[in-house]
């Protein structure tokens, strides 16, 4: 439904107010329009006012273009997703409040008959809603509200009926606004970061928003830029860091006709890419959709709260019938019917969950719904897959292996390779250069460096031409065979190390092994998890047993499983569960998927593979191990807040019910106290205390044993 008419009525930097007559049409999908505009990269918020027929758009001028936003507004076509979100959220209507307010102002000036007619016209919406609910769903709180208001109106208590209706409408309006705002906050968190793209069109290279790239476009990506599409390389060679999508820490070589994935970052070189999957069809967009679907799932706590709230409607109805049967006092009956447990119980629980989800996301953690938060709060055992979780992607040299006597020592070999690699900028080269600097090794003179992007490099030194790079490059391009050293190579690779091969025109020279390093906050995070109620800490790794047990003892793990094959991880999780433990598993690789599913709650690191993040219940958005402890603290705090809200709702409303039953509260007082209680519980549900251990700066290191790299 394209918007064929609009007019900009006010404009500031980053803010547009647009008059849209279509907003005043009956049945126009207002929420779908807001969602349509907000889903555009760079848009902060879109807020429609159907009564004023205006739309306010707040946006970041650095990532959203004014003309493009107006063009998107004009081409509005509500998608199935936007309609679903609109139905789910619903608009908070202020019209009933205004109408009731006007009615109360007019009542003093009208004759009795007119007061009667005006009152029934005003409360007619509440009466109709109650009747429809009774027919379609049975006895619910809407039925009790309609009975209370209808009784007052039929008895000529015009002020009581209208004031009660006003309080009910005010409570519903604030409840809907609160719930809708929490939904919008969470949807914004799922929006991908704005990415620009350089596209070849009409023989020119132009820059456009990443979500405006079309299938078949040729996208040019340079050093440091994010690949905005899933596509196929048609020209160029480069090193691409796919850690944000696949979990691979070491950049991989890309050249025609290899596939590239959106969200990857180009480290070296330059690529021309044909766009195959764009916009909502890219890998990152599909993961975001999966997460959105997960957020819509209710939790066991929410289902329990709904069931308890429904049962308490019958308690109110039965109490009202008993009081009326004993006293024949319709005023008491109205007061009793206006006491409602269900609003506080049904709304307070999901709002508390959404508040917790939003708070977690602000601390760099995406928890996929209330069910996942419940499981995280209940976990008593946490299992860490070592690589990529306790360690991070900053590579460090662990072994320098001299294979022949063409160089004198390990130091000579490291100095030689560092002297050549300092002309490259990829992570492996930086790690080698840093290792040489740490050992205070001297630069070795060499000739001009020949560099083949994504493969390796070579240079002339005193004893001949030296070549450094991947095994494939040295064996296939330089003709240097490493087969005689297969056992040493396999041993290093079995330990999870990345190898840099060094060769001379006469044959192999040496190997340099690298591996990611232990996170400096690992020990402090594990201690904090114990303080937060995790009773059993377990580490799983493919490392050799002696090495794994030494690291496990240093970090204080209760159990260490070494030399574990990927397919064995899920079985270890199942074995722990069979002993009665509630298990959380932390992993990041493609082969962690089964374990993430098997655990009661799976936690994926931010650099993890997309399949790991899709199957995980909790995804870290920041590469910070302390975020796991933050998530645990927020989950436990949210569940505690829900329990407190439940007890408060039941206790306070029971007191109000007793006051109404014994005639101490009028219908207006009963409605005021009940709605005040509901709003108080909603406000408490929205409050989310910041985790005590979180800081926007890196976590302060606690006193602990001497830290060492993952591979000493």
Q: How many Å apart are CA 78 and CA 383, to the nearest integer? A: 44
For residue 648, CA distances in Å to 179, 602, 621 come to: 20, 32, 34
Residue 447 burial (CB count, 10 A): 12
Question: 98 and 109 in contact (C-beta within 8 Å)?
Answer: no
List strand residue ranges (DSSP E) for 566-690, in order.
583-587, 601-604, 618-620
Q: How many Å apart are CA 387 and CA 51, to the nearest integer? A: 57
* The CATH classification of domain 364-391+519-636, taken from the options 3.40.50.1820, 3.40.50.2000, 3.40.1390.10, 3.40.50.1000: 3.40.50.1000
Give the start-to-end residue ranges of the domains of the chain: 7-91, 196-290, 364-391+519-636, 393-517
DSSP track, 20-78: -GGGGSTT--HHHHHHHHHTSTTEEEEEEETTTTEEEEEE-TTT--HHHHHHHHHT---
Query: H/E element holding 19?
Result: strand 15-19
Task: Say whether 183 is catalytic.
Answer: no
As a whole number, the mean pLDDT across the chain is: 78
**pLDDT bracket for residue 549 (50, 70, 90):** confident
> Between these two residues, 630 and 687, which has the higher pLDDT value?
630
User: How much is the pLDDT for 632?
Assistant: 94
**pLDDT bracket for residue 692 (50, 70, 90):** very low
**pLDDT bracket for residue 539 (50, 70, 90):** very high
Topology of the domain comprising 7-91: Alpha-Beta Plaits (3.30.70)
> Between these two residues, 671 and 162, which has the higher pLDDT value?
162
Rg (CA), the chain: 32
> Among residues of the chain, what percentage have pLDDT more than 90?
19
User: How much is the pLDDT for 355?
Assistant: 77
pLDDT tens-digit map of 459-503: 888 878 889 998 888 898 888 999 999 999 988 877 767 889 999
User: How much is the pLDDT for 705?
Assistant: 35
Whether the pLDDT of residue 528 is over 70: the answer is yes
Q: Nearest Cα to 607, choosing from 516, 489, 527, 483? A: 516
Query: H/E element holding 518?
Result: strand 507-518
User: How much is the pLDDT for 218?
Assistant: 93
Whether the pLDDT of residue 706 is over 50: the answer is no
**pLDDT bracket for residue 199 (50, 70, 90):** very high
> Between these two residues, 359 and 566, which has the higher pLDDT value?
359
Question: 255 and 234 in contact (C-beta within 8 Å)?
Answer: no
> Among residues of the chain, what percentage have pLDDT more than 70?
78
Whether the pLDDT of residue 117 is over 80: the answer is yes
Q: How far apart are the first and last CA of the chain?
A: 64
Paired strand residues for 17:
10, 56
Question: 23 and 55 in contact (C-beta within 8 Å)?
Answer: yes
Q: Are strands 391-402 and 507-518 parallel, antiparallel or unpaired?
A: antiparallel
Q: How many Å apart are CA 407 and CA 418, to the nearest integer? A: 14
User: How much is the pLDDT for 676?
Assistant: 75
Q: Which long-range contacts (CB under 8 A, 24 or more apart) does 117-126 make?
A: 119/153, 119/158, 119/161, 119/162, 120/153, 122/162, 122/165, 123/149, 123/150, 123/153, 123/161, 123/162, 123/165, 125/96, 126/165, 126/168
* Tokens linked to 35: 């969602």
User: How much is the pLDDT for 693?
Assistant: 42
pLDDT tens-digit map of 350-385: 777 777 877 887 777 888 777 888 899 999 999 998
Whether the pLDDT of residue 327 is over 90: the answer is no
Average pLDDT (100-128) is 86
Selected catalytic residue, list 183, 385, 588, 592: 385
**pLDDT bracket for residue 292 (50, 70, 90):** low
Residue 172 burial (CB count, 10 A): 21
User: How much is the pLDDT for 695?
Assistant: 37
Average pLDDT (561-586) is 89
What is the three-class DSSP state of 386?
coil
Q: Nearest Cα to 541, choosing from 355, 390, 377, 381? A: 390
User: How much is the pLDDT for 511?
Assistant: 95
Domain over 393-517 is classified CATH 3.40.50.1820:
no
User: How much is the pLDDT for 668?
Assistant: 77
User: How much is the pLDDT for 683?
Assistant: 74
User: How much is the pLDDT for 512?
Assistant: 94
Q: Nearest Cα to 155, choosing from 660, 667, 672? A: 667
Given its phi and psi angles, is residue 409 left (phi above 0), alpha (psi -120 to 50 degrees) or beta?
beta
Whether the pLDDT of residue 535 is over 90: the answer is yes
Average pLDDT (88-106) is 72
Asked if the domains at 7-91 and 364-391+519-636 fall in one CATH topology, the answer is: no
Question: 701 and 524 in contact (C-beta within 8 Å)?
Answer: yes
**pLDDT bracket for residue 661 (50, 70, 90):** confident
**pLDDT bracket for residue 401 (50, 70, 90):** very high
Q: How many Å apart are CA 571 and CA 568, to the nearest integer? A: 5
Whether the pLDDT of residue 430 is over 90: the answer is no
The CATH number that domain 196-290 falls under is 2.70.150.10
Q: How many Å apart are CA 538 and CA 382, to the nearest integer? A: 6
> Between these two residues, 593 and 204, which has the higher pLDDT value?
204
pLDDT tens-digit map of 139-158: 776 776 777 777 777 877 77
User: How much is the pLDDT for 303?
Assistant: 60
Whether the pLDDT of residue 23 is over 60: the answer is yes
Q: What are the backbone dihedrals phi and psi of residue 581, each rounded to the nearest 5 degrees, phi first? A: -85, 145
Q: How many Å apart are CA 625 and CA 520, to the nearest integer? A: 9
**pLDDT bracket for residue 175 (50, 70, 90):** low
> Between these two residues, 512 and 696, which has the higher pLDDT value?
512
Average pLDDT (670-676) is 75
């Amino acid at each position: 439904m394209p918007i064929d008419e609009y007019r900009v009525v006010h404009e500031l930097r980053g803010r547009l107010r647009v008059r849209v007559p279509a907003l005043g049409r009956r049945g126009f999908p207002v929420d779908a329009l807001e969602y349509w505009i907000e889903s555009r990269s760079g848009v902060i918020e879109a807020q429609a006012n159907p009564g004023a027929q205006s739309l306010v758009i707040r946006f970041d001028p650095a990532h959203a273009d004014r003309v493009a936003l107006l063009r998107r507004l004009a081409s509005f076509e509500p998608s199935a997703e936007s309609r679903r979100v609109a139905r789910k959220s619903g608009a908070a209507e202020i019209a009933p409040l205004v109408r009731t307010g006007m009615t109360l102002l007019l009542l003093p000036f009208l004759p009795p008959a007119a007061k009667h007619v005006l009152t029934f016209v005003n409360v007619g919406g509440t009466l109709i809603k109650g009747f429809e609910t009774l027919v379609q769903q049975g006895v619910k709180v809407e039925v009790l509200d309609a009975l209370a208001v209808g009784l007052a109106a039929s008895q000529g208590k015009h002020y009581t009926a209208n004031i009660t209706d006003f309080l009910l409408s005010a409570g519903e309006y604030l409840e809907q606004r609160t719930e809708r705002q929490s939904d919008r906050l969470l949807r914004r968190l799922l929006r991908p970061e704005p990415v620009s793209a350089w596209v070849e069109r009409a023989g020119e290279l132009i820059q456009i928003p990443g979500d405006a790239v079309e299938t078949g476009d040729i996208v040019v990506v340079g050093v440091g830029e994010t690949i905005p599409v899933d596509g196929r390389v048609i020209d160029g060679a480069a090193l691409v860091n796919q850690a944000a999508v696949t979990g691979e820490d070491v950049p991989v070589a890309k050249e025609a006709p290899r596939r590239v994935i959106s969200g990857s970052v180009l480290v070296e070189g330059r690529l021309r890419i044909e766009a195959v999957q764009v916009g909502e069809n890219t890998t990152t967009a599909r993961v975001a959709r999966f997460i959105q679907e997960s957020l819509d799932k209710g939790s066991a706590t929410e289902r329990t709260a709904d069931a308890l709230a429904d049962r308490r409607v019958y308690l109110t109805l039965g109490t009202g019938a008993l009081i009326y049967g004993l006293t024949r006092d319709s005023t008491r009956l109205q007061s009793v019917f206006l006491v409602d447990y269900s609003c506080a119980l049904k709304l307070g629980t999901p709002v508390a969950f959404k508040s917790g989800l939003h708070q977690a996301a602000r601390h760099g953690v995406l928890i996929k719904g209330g069910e996942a938060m419940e499981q995280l709060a209940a976990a008593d055992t946490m299992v860490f897959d070592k690589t990529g979780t306790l360690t991070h992607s900053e590579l460090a040299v662990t072994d320098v292996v001299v294979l022949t006597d063409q160089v004198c020592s390990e130091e000579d070999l490291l100095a030689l390779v560092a002297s050549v690699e300092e002309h490259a900028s990829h992570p492996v080269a930086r790690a080698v250069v840093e290792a040489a600097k740490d050992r205070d090794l001297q630069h070795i003179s060499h000739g001009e460096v020949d560099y083949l992007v994504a493969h390796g490099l070579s240079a002339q030194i005193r004893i001949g031409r030296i070549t450094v790079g991947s095994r494939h490059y040295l064996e296939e391009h330089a003709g240097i065979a490493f087969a005689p050293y297969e056992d040493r190579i396999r041993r290093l690779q079995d330990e999870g190390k990345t190898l840099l091969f060094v060769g001379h025109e006469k044959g192999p020279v040496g190997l340099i092994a690298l591996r990611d390093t232990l996170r400096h906050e690992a020990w402090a995070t594990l201690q904090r998890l114990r303080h937060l109620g995790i009773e059993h800490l377990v580490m799983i790794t493919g490392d050799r047993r002696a090495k794994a047990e030494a690291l496990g003892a240093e970090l204080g793990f209760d159990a260490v499983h070494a030399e574990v094959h990927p397919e064995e991880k899920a079985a270890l999780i199942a074995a722990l569960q069979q002993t009665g433990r509630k298990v959380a598993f932390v992993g990041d690789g493609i082969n962690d998927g089964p374990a993430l599913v098997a655990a009661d709650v799976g936690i994926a690191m931010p650099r993890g593979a997309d399949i790991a993040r899709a199957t995980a219940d909790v995804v870290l958005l920041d590469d910070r191990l302390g975020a796991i402890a933050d998530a645990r603290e927020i989950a436990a705090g949210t569940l505690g807040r829900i329990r407190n809200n439940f007890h408060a709702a039941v206790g306070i409303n029971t007191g109000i019910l007793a006051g109404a039953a014994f005639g101490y509260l009028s219908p207006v007082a009963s409605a005021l106290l009940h709605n005040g209680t509901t709003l108080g519980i909603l406000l408490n549900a929205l409050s989310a205390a910041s985790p005590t251990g979180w800081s926007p700066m890196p976590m302060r290191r606690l006193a602990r044993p001497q830290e060492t790299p993952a591979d000493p």
